[in-house]
Structure 1
Amino acid sequence: MAAKFELYKDNAGEFRFRLKAGNGENILASEGYKAKSSAENGIESVKKNASDDARYEKKETASGKHMFNLKSTNGQVVGTSQSYESASGRDNGIESVKKNAPDARVEDLTA
């Protein structure tokens, strides 16, 4: 199975997207957007910025786990990873986004 973006509506009625790897694992998730078009723009921003190492912000959570944010050219966070046990797991997650996001199809689950 190829990687894909899932565009969906959350329980609060906001639009969100997640990038799923070919194995079905979530590798990146968005914030909530009031408008569907804003979420769609977020997907395009992820596709555009995914290959640029400088767009990734590597972080450690308060509990000592590792995660990352993908930022757009204006510095806004467009996607956040899950938490990883190790820095190498996080780095593998970044590589997965870089490899999968640019060509991932969009599955609209709001229709």
Structure 2
Amino acid sequence: MRFVVYKSGASALSQVWRWRLVAANGKTIADSAEGYYSKADCLHGIELVKGTNVLTPVVEV
């Protein structure tokens, strides 16, 4: 698996940073669902996801 960081948006002014988690078979299995105005914020979002583990609760709503 790997995280892919990229810019998206129609114009240079509307571009935001996003990430996606891609499996070995090339399929996207998770994405940022929101855009980040700075690359640093995008990378921080990735670190938050990487910080989850088996102790992270799963909640049904």
Common fold, TM-score beyond 0.5? yes
Identity of aligned residues (%): 36
Cα separation, partners in 2 of 1:26 and 1:50, compared to 1, 3 Å = farther
Cα separation, partners in 2 of 1:14 and 1:52, compared to 1, 3 Å = farther
Shift >4 Å, 4+ stretches: 56-59
Normalised to the residue count of structure 1, the TM-score between the two structures is 0.45
Map Cα deviations across residues 15-64 of structure 1 (whole Å, 9 max, x no partner).
0000001111000000100111000000111100154441x4567xxxxx
> Which one has more relative contact order, counting CA pairs under 8 Å at least 6 apart?
1
What 5-or-longer segments of structure 1 have no aligned partner?
60-111
Equivalence for 2:23: 21
Equivalence for 1:49: 52
Q: How many residues align?
A: 56
Normalised to the residue count of structure 2, the TM-score between the two structures is 0.78
What 5-or-longer segments of structure 2 have no aligned partner?
none
